[in-house]
Amino acid sequence: MSGRLYLVPTPIGNLEDITLRAKRILGEVDAVVAEDTRVSGRLLQHYDIRKPLIPFHAHNEHRMVEQLAQRLAHGERFALVSDAGTPGISDPGFLLVRAAVKAGVAVECLPGPTAFVPALVDSGLPCDRFVFEGFLPVKKGRRTRLEALRTEERTIVLYESPHRIARTLRELAEAFGPERPASLSREISKLHEETVRGTLAELAAHTEAHEPRGEYVLCVQGAPDA
């Protein structure tokens, strides 16, 4: 009997943002593969779901991926979850999906929450064509990536931490020009959800005047068509 890997999106804030199907799958699988077992454990407890939790994160991904793929190939069924949102986006989930596919294991991705879609739609920027960049490199390759994106004509979507958002906005304003329109969203679906729109220079000034809190999604309008 072949196993199956389910990619199960989990709420990014409001715990009501989970589907009936997601809860059913979490209750049926043999184990839940989690980026942070403490975070996922609290979520499962909230829904009264009791399943073994297997840690799978940036510090053990290469050691665990083949072991998990072998267990899947021998018939076990796993649900892969991230701390919040859809697994595989800006987290180690991609490695397990690739290993499962290589091992001939069926992979099924459920639809559900992800932070950048509501942030993009709420930005007021064109969202018919966009490029998702995730997190910019922290050090090596950062300047190169910024230069490459400077002439990108599609709306650019980035993730950023509260510790680096002010620096990122300053560098984007310098690389793209301070008047480039942008939108900054944080705490999506949570109590203190906020979206601020303006130029890159205005958003940079906003983050310097208000202490950054929560994870951010930054949407930047593409370069004018040359």
pLDDT in tens, the chain (226 residues): 679 999 999 999 999 999 999 999 999 999 999 999 999 999 999 999 999 999 998 778 888 999 999 999 999 999 999 999 999 998 888 999 999 999 999 999 999 999 999 999 999 999 999 999 999 999 999 999 999 999 999 999 999 999 999 999 999 999 999 999 999 999 999 988 999 999 999 999 999 999 999 999 999 999 987 5
Question: What is the tally of structural domains in the chain?
Answer: 2
Residues 167-188: b if buried by 16+ CB within 10 A, e if exposed: ebbbbbbebbeeebbbbbbbbb
Residue 1: per-residue pLDDT: 60
Position 226 in a domain:
no
Instruction: Supply the CATH number for residue 159's domain.
Output: 3.30.950.10
For residues 178 and 131, state if they share a domain. Answer: yes
Position 102 in a domain:
yes
Position 152 in a domain:
yes
- Choose the final residue of a domain: 76, 109, 142: 109
User: How far is 172 from 134, CA to CA, in rounded Å?
Assistant: 15
For residues 83 and 174, state if they share a domain. Answer: no
- Choose the final residue of a domain: 109, 131, 159: 109
Global pTM exceeds 0.85: yes
Decide: 21 and 122 in contact? Cβ < 8 Å. Answer: no
> The domain containing residue 165 runs over which residues?
116-220
Instruction: Supply the CATH number for residue 48's domain.
Output: 3.40.1010.10
For residues 175 and 199, state if they share a domain. Answer: yes
Q: Which of 100, 109, 104, 108 is nearest to 69 (CA)?
A: 100
Residues 43-76: b if buried by 16+ CB within 10 A, e if exposed: bbeeeebebebbebbeeebeebbeebbebbbeeb
User: How far is 195 from 125, CA to CA, in rounded Å?
Assistant: 13
- Choose the final residue of a domain: 51, 81, 109: 109
Residue 226: per-residue pLDDT: 52
Position 225 in a domain:
no
Decide: 50 and 32 in contact? Cβ < 8 Å. Answer: no
Q: Is 136 helix (H, G, I), strand (E, B) or coil?
A: coil
For residues 90 and 132, state if they share a domain. Answer: no
185 alpha-carbon distance from chain centroid: 14
Residue 18: per-residue pLDDT: 94
User: How far is 185 from 120, CA to CA, in rounded Å?
Assistant: 9
Residue 92: per-residue pLDDT: 82
Sheet holding 106-109, edge to edge: 53-55, 31-34, 77-81, 4-7, 106-109
Position 191 in a domain:
yes
For residues 94 and 182, state if they share a domain. Answer: no
